[in-house]
Structure 1
């Protein structure tokens, strides 16, 4: 069976919650052998972040939270007590057999255990060591704990998300998913792959310092560039776009739809569909720059037109002439959508307790080394014996001894 592009790469995942586990899952999806280290009896914090819980075959809750399931497939779970000297030695030995370590402890938190980068590098100079924190390894905020919601506020995202001042429901709003955690996981994945490529040429590993706040600022993209170039502070605009018009939601006879016009040709087609071809020749709206300058007038005109037909009717009409548009779907409609189903964005993976667990698929499509769904998110400590025998060649007696002394 094709084991993926990263077959043979060993990853020791000491992280918990979302950003680190997301990176670990991405590497695991690409074929790496990812070992997730968890606390005995409790495990990753997110195991308790429910409901909802995965149900077993009798419909009873398994204790596996949906939150935990979203970021931990294709991994093996090992339980080790880091407060135990013997447990620390187990982690150290596992790190010696690893290509990558991912951790999201507080800055300096692993020094006391001898599991920080400098300590592990001395014994394994080829190690790629990725540290994920709220604010980075250096700087005045380095010691602070970091959380996605907090960083969405501090990093400016909430200042541009939500209805504008004076509008109904105005005020800053966080994004509806922990997007900074997810983006940090993706940046971590890119950095780890780059560090592995560098190691192939240099023979040396390196330390990766990733901060949620840095990532949050980096993915502000055009909004940050608008500020740096235009020297004007972006404001909340609801669903409108600061640089393109019309590019937002519009009311219909039975709800709302999105119109996303990206150029003047598409705008002309939109005007034809709306029954107002003359708008495309109006001096206020001929170019995108003019439409941005006259945003309020144009949006008001379009709103008056779109309420006359249903969402489905408008979408059919606009798609027929190449105007980008679409519905605002709830998640039940997302996973029922024929295109989403064709793309197989929902997968079922065998689970040792539930029989089968439904998961969101990885969106990466690779022709030569495709993503494989080898295993479900592991139960707590499911692979402790297997991994310690596989990576460290421990005997059954060794395992019994460690377990008796509560190191694993």
Structure 2
């Protein structure tokens, strides 16, 4: 049994933030019914693409974030489609959506309406600026890049002195998805104790502001407006990437004891006794003098040679891996973080595994990402008791698919 066995989720989401959240819940054992419009989730049109046995183009993007779910197609522009959704919600524990607040309200599925269908429902919304926001913000459209820019994250990302830079993955969506799961699980725990449901109002911008780490403290305590520092840490030195002969390596030297070992590993013990560099505050104060010395030395060997040296001295380090090396990494494979997903019509597709390594109820990949409407018949028969004739009739009317 998964940790969330017995929890039923109606997934009204699209693209990334909320689908990522419902994938986590599905990995942990929840039954997730993904409700798609007749044209399907937008992300089915996002690459990379792979051709299946029928000659159709399947989206690797969609496959990577929709495993372990069931898909049904409902036309919510039709009243009968809305009626079916209400019936599904009446038997669910959680509803997750990531449309603009005005969209769900127009459809008749705001939290206030959901409560009328099932009073203890957990209703999770993810949007750019939050449902409970200033009026001009609540309805603003937002993608990941908007959240990264507005939150300030882009202003501290990228090479020192360079232009604002987006984080390489859609961290605004991903962080909101992770935090949404925490909110949903907290709400379920509260419902267990009190019998009350609630609205989980998640904002992509909020999520990124919450992980700005010490950037806010540096501004409010010191008056400094943080900027990008490339691979460096603003207050711990050395704590950054260095160019080797053939690649890059990171060396996060987080305390003075490690600093002494690091100097020995570089065969530069005199640096440890240098009055400018003895403590971390001094190294941070004099980093413009220190970093060029270290950079020159580290560039004298290739990455593998430095790995061997740093390993011998017990120092924290890592090569800056490219994705091909990540996919082939032995430890990540051992921890099931790179796994083969058997996708019908395609075969095995490599995807990231579940990071939830619980000793009794770990996250698990049990099934493929569904084809659009793959489970419409089985869900409507099993959950609502509809007959084949009723399903056939509604398909002919464009209500379901």
Q: Which secondary structure does the structure 2 equivalent of 1:266 belong to? A: helix
Partner residue of 1:115 out of 81, 86, 109: 109
1:53 is aligned to 49
Distance in 2 separating the partners of 1:225 and 1:63: 48
Any residues of structure 2 matched to 1:397-408 within 5 Å, and which?
Answer: 397-408=389-400
* 1:61 Cα deviation from its structure 2 partner: 5.8
Answer yes or no: is the 8 Å Cα contact 1:101–1:129 preserved in 2: yes
Q: 1:309 to 1:355 in 2, by over 3 A?
A: closer
Aligned pairs for 1:290-369 within 5 A:
290-369=282-361
The CA distance in 2 between the partners of 1:380 and 1:238, in whole Å, is 42
Structure 2, unpaired ranges of 5+: none
Other structure's SS at 2:101 match: coil
Residue 35 of structure 2, aligned match among 32, 37, 42: 37
SS where residue 249 of structure 1 aligns?
A: strand
Aligned length: 398
Cα distance between partner residues in 2 of 1:104 and 1:303: 46
| Partner of residue 100 from structure 1, selected from 94, 100, 113 | 94
Pair 1:185–1:61, CA change in 2 (3 A): farther
Superposed CA deviations along residues 283-317 of structure 1, whole A, max 9, x for unmatched, are: 11111111100111110110111111111001110
Q: CA deviation at 1:224?
A: 2.3
Shift of 1:334: 1.1
1:190, CA displacement in angstroms?
0.3
Q: CA deviation at 1:391?
A: 1.4
The reply on whether 1:65 has 2:55 as its aligned counterpart is: no
1:262-281 correspondence runs (5 A): 262-281=254-273
Query: In the alignment, what sits opposite 1:231?
Result: 223
- The aligned runs of 1:199-278 (5 Å cut-off) are 199-278=191-270
Counterpart-to-counterpart distance in 1, 2:144 and 2:84? 31
Provide the rounded CA distance (Å) in 1 between the counterparts of 2:183 and 2:125. 11
Kindly indicate whether residue 381 of structure 2 is the aligned counterpart of residue 395 of structure 1: no
- Whether 1:130 and 2:128 are equivalent positions in the alignment is no
- Residue 274 of structure 2 is matched in structure 1 by 282
For 2:14, the equivalent position in structure 1 comes to: 16
| Residue pair 1:54, 1:61 contacting (<8 A) in 2 also | no
Q: Which runs of 5+ in 1 are unaligned?
A: none
SS of the equivalent of 2:123 reads: strand
- Return 122-131 or 344-353, whichever deviates more: 344-353
Distance 1:338 1:113 in 2: 48
Residue deviations 1:179-200 (CA, integer Å, cap 9, x gap) = 0100000000000000000000
Any idea what SS the aligned residue of 1:368 has?
coil
State the SS of the aligned residue for 2:158: coil
CA contact under 8 A between 1:357 and 1:376: conserved in structure 2?
A: no
Q: Residue 154 of structure 2: which of 158, 167, 181 is its match?
A: 158
Distance 1:383 1:309 in 2: 57
1:134 Cα deviation from its structure 2 partner: 0.8
> Partners in 1 of 2:56 and 2:174 — Cα distance?
26
C-alpha deviation, 1:113, in angstroms:
2.5
1:2-56 superposed Cα distances (whole Å, 9 cap, x missing partner): 3x0000100000010100000000000000000001011x210010012x21343
1:146 is aligned, of 142, 146, 151, to: 142
Contact 2:244 2:301 in 1 (8 A): yes
Check the 8 A contact 1:37/1:79 in 2, yes or no. Answer: yes
Offset, 1:357:
2.8
Residue 22 of structure 2: SS of its match in structure 1? helix
TM-score after normalising by structure 1: 0.95
